[in-house]
Amino acid sequence: AQSVAQPEDQVNVAEGNPLTVKCTYSVSGNPYLFWYVQYPNRGLQFLLKYITGDNLVKGSYGFEAEFNKSQTSFHLKKPSALVSDSALYFCAVRDSADSNYQLIWGAGTKLIIKP
């Protein structure tokens, strides 16, 4: 069965420091992986995706994510955090071999950037 795990409910980082938000997944076939961000009382905004190709993908607002097939991980990273990055981050996966078109979502990680 497909699943996504975001092992940290909350991540605290000082402004200017690098940040990592973790995501691991389980699918039968090849994964399509996505990161979204949600600000309070707002819908989800797409940040980046991995479909195929380079394991390091770059997205919006300076975020990037590294696909690691052996560790079944897709961690979100940013070299220097901003206070405005504080939000809820969701990882999602779809199994390319599955005829079901649903995305499977993680429970979310709250990122808090302190000045």
Partner 1 sequence: DTGVSQNPRHKITKRGQNVTFRCDPISEHNRLYWYRQTLGQGPEFLTYFQNEAQLEKSRLLSDRFSAERPKGSFSTLEIQRTEQGDSAMYLCASSYTGDSYEQYFGPGTRLTVT
Q: Which residues bind partner 1 (CB under 8 A)?
A: 32, 34, 36, 41-46, 49, 51, 90, 92, 94, 96, 100-103, 105-108
**Would you list the DSSP string of 75-101?**
EEEESS--GGG-EEEEEEEEETT-S--
Residue closer to partner 1 (CB basis): 18 or 29: 29
Do 83 and 56 form a contact (C-beta atoms < 8 A)?
Answer: no
* Number of Cβ atoms within 10 Å of the Cβ of 62: 13
Residue closer to partner 1 (CB basis): 83 or 107: 107
Q: How far is the CB of 43 from partner 1 (least distance, A)?
A: 4
Residue closer to partner 1 (CB basis): 76 or 106: 106
Q: How far is the CB of 16 from partner 1 (least distance, A)?
A: 28
Site of tokens 């195929």: 52
Q: How far is the CB of 73 from partner 1 (least distance, A)?
A: 18
